[in-house]
Amino acid sequence: MNANERELHLFYIRKAVEVSRRARASGNTPFGCLLVGPEGEVLMEQGNIEITGRVCTGHAETSLMQRASGEYAKDYLWKCTLYSTAEPCAMCTGSIYWGHVGRIVYGISERRLAELTGDDEQNLTPDMPCRDILARGRKPIEVVGPFPEIEQAVVAVHEGYWT
Ligand SMILES: [Zn+2]
């Protein structure tokens, strides 16, 4: 990854951070993601909806994949990138896999996130890096992240949220 590619990834992760901020402000957990098309266009944004939507699978990435699969063909989604503030959990990695998005880019790792959430019952996420899940898959989905440069901005949205 060259410096320009890195800057571009950070540009979209910063946008996802804004989505995560809005998710928190709306009464949900502070997670956000974007779907970016092959030409760099932002196709969709999605924050977490699990609390206000009363949906146990309402993580940002899974919710986005459910929407995206209704709007775009799989062949097109394969050329897209899902940007997320935090590494997708096991469920969301599965959703991205089945939704057939070819690349995942994230800001902070699942383990870094677990340091923030601690034992909060709202986010007892499995300790399962998305690369480990995808390594057992049958599609060459590319994974990029974490990005130390963006950690502080991602973490700031979580401050004071988890107990
Ligand atoms: Zn998830």
pLDDT tens-digit series, residues 143-156: 999 999 999 999 99
pLDDT at 163: 85
Question: Mean per-residue pLDDT for 10-33?
Answer: 98
Alpha helices in 45-158 (DSSP H): 60-71, 74-77, 90-99, 110-117, 130-135, 151-158
Whole-number Å distance between alpha carbons of 37 and 116: 31
CB 120 within 8 A of CB 163: yes
88 CA distance to ligand 1 middle (Å) = 5
Tokens at 73, concatenated: 């063909």
Q: Lowest mean pLDDT of 14-28, 46-60, 121-135, name the range.
A: 121-135
61 in active site? yes
pLDDT at 126: 87
pLDDT digits (tens, 9 = 90+) for 42-95: 999 999 999 999 999 999 999 999 999 999 999 999 999 999 999 999 999 999
pLDDT at 62: 98
Catalytic residue among 50, 61, 87, 110, which? 61
53 CA distance to ligand 1 middle (Å) = 15
Tokens at 3, concatenated: 């410096």
Whole-number Å distance between alpha carbons of 107 and 154: 7
39 CA distance to ligand 1 middle (Å) = 26
